[in-house]
Amino acid sequence: MRCPRCGNEMRTEQLEGIEIERCPVCAGMFFEYNKLQTLLMRKQESRFKFYRNIFGLD
């Protein structure tokens, strides 16, 4: 899959146990249907860790 933002090849990664596609160049992310909702509906401490991971604060 190519990144819609910069056109580079995206890589499959695990984020909090959910498979996502992430661009190694611009750090753009693609979530399959319902994957983002699944992550956001987890308990609060897991959401905090998720956001810290997304924004590179860990």
> What are the domain boundaries of the chain?
11-54
Torsion of CA 30, 31, 32, 36, to 10 degrees: -160
Give percent of the chain above pLDDT 70: 90
pTM of the predicted protein model: 0.63
6 falls in which pLDDT band (50, 70, 90)?
very high
- Give 12's strand partners: 21
